[in-house]
Each structure stands twice: as C-alpha cells, then as structure tokens.
Amino acid sequence: MNNSEIKNDWIDRYNENALNPYELKRFNEKLNRNPVLRAEVSVDRCLNEILSDQDALDFYQKIGRARQRQKRHIKAPPLLLLAASIILLIVATGLLLRLTKVFSVEKKTHPPVAGMKKMNEGTRFLIQPNSYGRYNGNVTPAGRRYAILNPQVASKFNSLRELEILVGGTTRNPAFILTSPIVRQRLLLGSPVKFNWESSGNAIPVVISILDNQGNCIYQSTAILGNSFLLDTADFMKGLYYWRITVEDELVLVGKMALY
Amino acid sequence: MVTRYTDEDVIHGLQEKKRSYINYLYKEFFPVVRSIVERNSGTLQDVEDVFQDTIFVLYRQSLSEKIDLHCSLKTYFYAISRNIWLQRLERKYRLLYKPDFEVNEEKARYGQDDSDILEYELERRRLFQQHFFAMPADCQELLRLFFIKTPLKQIASMMHYKNTNYVKTRKYLCKNMLRKKILNDPKCNPFINYEQL
C-alpha cells in the first residue's frame, strides 16, 4: 500500500467508516505521525458535511449567479448606459443626415458614375463626390461646400484645366510686375478687386480679361495705361473666375478668384 | 422599473430560492451591508462575503421558521450582517493579536441574540463551496450525485462512465483535487485542523 493510495482512497473510506480493521490500524498510525494527513482528513470531513447539504449548495449557486449579475450592473449602471445610448443615437443621426445630404446631391447632379471625375466636352470637370461621398480633385473647399449645400451653384466652381495650369505662373513680361491681387483669391460677391502693377520704363498698355470657369470671356477692359485697375464684381454671379492680363497681345499672367 | 415586495413576500420567495427575490435583496439590501462593513474597516470583497452569508442565514432561518419579525426585514437584515461582520472582525483580530487579546479584551457579543449565527462556519462553508464551484462541471455533477446517494450504477449510466469502478475512481480523484485546492488556499488555512482528530 503506497502513500498515494492512502491519499486517494483511504481518506474517503476512513471518513465513510469503510476501512477494514487492518487498514484502519495502519491509517491511524499514519494519522498520529502525519499532521498534513490529519488536515486532509479534517477537510474531507467538512467537505462531506458540506456536499451532503445539497440545498445549501443550490442556494449558494443561486446567490453566486445573482452576485455576478449585480457586478455587471455595478460596472455599467443604467444611467451611464442611457447616456451612452443617447450619445450614440445623436452621432448616428448626424451621420445619417450628412450621408442623406451627400447622396441627394449625388443623385441630383451626377446620376451615372459616382465617385469619378467626369469630363464634359473634353474641357470641363464636374464636382463629383467619390465613392466615399467626398469631393476631391480640382475643387476649392468652398466649392465642395456649395456642392453639398447648393448643387445648382456647384458647377460654377468647377475649375478649367487649361487655365488652371497657367494660374500663378511667373510673368512673361519682365517689365510688368503685378503687386495685387494675389493669384488665387476668395472674395465675397460684390467686393471690388484692385489690380496694381509696376512697370519699368514707359507705360505699357495692359488689358485685363475676366473669364468664367468654362473659359468664356465675360469682361475685357480697354488698354490701361496707368498702374491700377478696379474691377467691380457686383454684376457677377457666384462662381469661379479667371483673370488674364495681356500686354500688347501677349499673355503675361493668369490668376483666379472665387466669388461667394 | 423596480418591483417592490413586502417583507413576507421576500421571506416566502427566499424559502423557494426564487431568483427574483435574491436579486431584489441584492438591489435593496446590499448598500445596507456595505455601509456596515466599509464603516468598520472592511473591503468591498468583505461586503460581498458578509452579504452572501447574511442571505444564507436568512434563508436557513426562513426554512426553520425562526424569523419572528418585530421590525422591518431591512433592520433584521442589518442586524444579522452586523453580527456576522463584527464576529468576523473579532475572530480575525484574535488571530492577529492572540497573546494580548485575552488580557485586554473580553469576548463580546454584538447586537441581538446571535447564538445561532456561527460566523466561523459560514465563512468555512462559503470558502469550501467556492472551491467546489470552481471544479470542472463533471466533477461537480459526480460529487453531487454521489452525495445524494445515487446508486453507482445509475451514476455510471448518467455520466456515461464504463462501470462503477470508474465512478469510484473518478469520485476519489475529484474529491482529492478539491481537498488539495482547499489545503493550498491560504484563505482556507484558519479552517484546517492539524491537531489530533
């Protein structure tokens, strides 16, 4: 009879009074010598008592479950959950509204291919949202805003590629230096635009032309011999315009302005 | 919406171990126990333990119809939990300061008649049971069946064991595992008797 047999079998049998006299004698001898065995026997006795009380076991199990439930409640109290739900609802509503607006713009203005730039007659670019509902490419931020808020005006802010590549280039006439306005400008509709320039040597005749975003010339000044010119935008419509300065029929500088 | 029960309802519900009543007790009476224990240098874990023990005492008293309410159930609950906690404090204090304790303090009883509340046994039962519930489900089931005196043949067929010998072996193994867990748990140490049986 080895030690492990005593631990696995004899302790149980000792407490169940199931040991034969020989086993009992040997076991008692071991018990007298070994305090750990005594501890095990005492624990086993308690366990027998506890496990026999099935009613208490059931009850404690139920209490344990209730305790788990309460712990979950303590972790996330109802008020906190309510607040989180409200915040989530607000965020979801906001997103939904925004998406509704974006998709309604898309439906009204660009039915066929959403998300791609569309070329119209080889020259014009439409403001088109991409597949994420965003407006990218050669559209000003204001243009994007308008595209969302006012689809009719949106197309007026489309840029024209041919002129766009000329915007901001250095002057082609070294005798002419433009001091204002800046080449890319945003203005409120009706604001005056003051052109100032310096010219070295004799006064040179300067012609200022205003083109719309489709490249149509909508205004052209007469030859200006002075050093300034005031452009009134009161009669203009909201949209993107390009100005072009020519000196003696030679293109000197191109800039653009967005009127809101 | 919290359902409110009368004290009698709660006692009857508790007798039948109804989940809704246990939950109700947790919701309504837990703060009471918390105030007692935390005011007397207890932790949240102590609060939960005392609360469980109090419910158990209440349950046992309800079964034996020992409850004679002359006050609200909340007050009664408060008294039991206070007794348990103060007895527990006293026992732990005695364990810590054994040499001086008998000189400076006399054994005190707190509050109402608590002669039938054996705090020591409550704690031992709870700790040992915790180890039992932490065992694998098949061990729990086997031991439960064994202790309600289910015939070994029936246990073998219920648990899909090949014969009764295997049932015995499994029972020894499970019991042995449970004993070892308890013996190795420092929290259980005060309840283990190393002296002569």
Is the pLDDT reported for residue A250 higher than 50?
yes
The pLDDT value recorded for residue A182 is 85
Which of B19, B182, B196 minimises the CB distance to A66? Answer: B19
CB-based contact A58 B17, cutoff 8 Å: yes
Q: What is the 3-state secondary structure (H, E, C) of B33-80?
A: HHHHHHHCCCCHHHHHHHHHHHHHHHHHHHHCCCCCCCCCHHHHHHHH
pLDDT score at A192: 87
Least confident of A106-120, A198-212, B74-88: A106-120
Contact in structure between A163 and A215 (CB atoms under 8 Å): yes
- Give the span between the Cα atoms of B113 and A138, in whole angstroms: 88
pLDDT at B108: 38
Q: What is the mean pLDDT of residues B126-147?
A: 93
Model pLDDT for residues A24-45, shown as the tens digit of each residue: 888 888 888 888 888 889 999 9
Q: Closest chain A residue to B149 measured between Cα atoms? A: A52
pLDDT of residue B103: 40
Euclidean distance between CA atoms A204 and A62, whole angstroms: 99
Share of chain B above pLDDT 90, in %: 38
Q: Which residues contact B125 (CB under 8 A, 6 or more apart)?
A: A50, A56, B56
What distance in Å separates residue A62's CA from the closest CA in chain B? 7
Look at B188 and A124; give whichever has higher pLDDT: B188
ipTM score of the complex? 0.82
pLDDT of residue A125: 42
**B132: confidence class by pLDDT, cuts 50, 70, 90:** very high
Contact B56 A56 (CB under 8 A): yes
| Partner residue facing A51 (CB), from B19, B22, B147 | B147
Is residue A220 over pLDDT 50? yes
Kindly report, residue by residue over A128-146, the tens digit of the pLDDT. Answer: 555 555 555 556 666 666 6
Residue A212: count of CB within 10 angstroms of its CB:
17
End-to-end CA distance of chain B: 54
Interface of A with B (CB under 8 A): 7-9, 11-12, 31-32, 35-36, 38-44, 46-48, 50-52, 54, 56-67, 69-70
Q: How far is B94 from chain A (nearest CA, A)?
A: 22
CA distance A28 to chain B (A): 10
Q: What is the DSSP string of A49-92?
A: HHHH-HHHHHHHHHHHHHHHHHHHHHHS-HHHHHHHHHHHHHHH
Percentage of residues in chain A with pLDDT exceeding 70?
73
Of A148 and A244, more confident: A244
Whether A82 has a pLDDT exceeding 60, the answer reads: yes
Evaluate if residue A106 carries a pLDDT over 80: no
* Greater model confidence, B64 or A151: B64
A39/B193 CB distance under 8 A: yes
What's the gap in Å between the CA of B123 and the closest CA on chain A?
Answer: 12
Max mean pLDDT among A60-74, A204-218, B96-110, B113-127 falls in: A204-218
Contact call for B192 and A42, based on CB within 8 A? yes
By the 10 Å C-beta count (0-12 exposed, 13-18 middle, 19+ buried), A112 is classed as exposed
Long-range CB contacts (within 8 A, 24+) of B10-13: B10/B73, B11/B58, B11/B62, B11/B67, B11/B73, B12/B62
CB count, 10 Å around CB of B51? 26
Contact A67 B26 (CB under 8 A): yes
Q: Report the C-alpha gap between B4 and A162 in whole angstroms.
A: 79
More confident residue, A119 or B5: B5
Per CB-CB distance under 8 Å, the chain B contacts of A41 are 197
* Residue contact B192–A54, C-beta within 8 A: no
Of B172, B178, B182, the CB nearest to A8: B172
pLDDT number for residue B53:
92
Q: Would you state the pLDDT for residue B116?
A: 54
Average pLDDT of the segment spanning A81-105:
84
CA distance B117 to chain A (A): 15
Residue A124 has pLDDT above 60, yes or no: no
Question: Model confidence at A161, in pLDDT bands (50, 70, 90)?
Answer: confident
Better pLDDT: A187 or A171: A187
Residue A236 φ/ψ, nearest 5 degrees? -80, 165
Instruction: Among A56-65, A134-143, A159-168, B69-78, name the one with the lowest average pLDDT.
Output: A134-143
pLDDT value at A1 more than 80: no
| Nearest by CB: B125 against A38, A50, A70 | A50
Q: What pLDDT was estimated at residue A83?
A: 86
Average pLDDT, chain A: 77
> Long-range contacts made by residues B48-52, C-beta under 8 angstroms, separation at least 24?
B48/A67, B49/B123, B49/B126, B50/B81, B50/B84, B50/B85, B50/B88, B51/B26, B51/B81, B52/A60, B52/A63, B52/A67, B52/B126
pLDDT of residue A11: 87
Res. B160: pLDDT tops 80 = yes
pLDDT at A119: 39
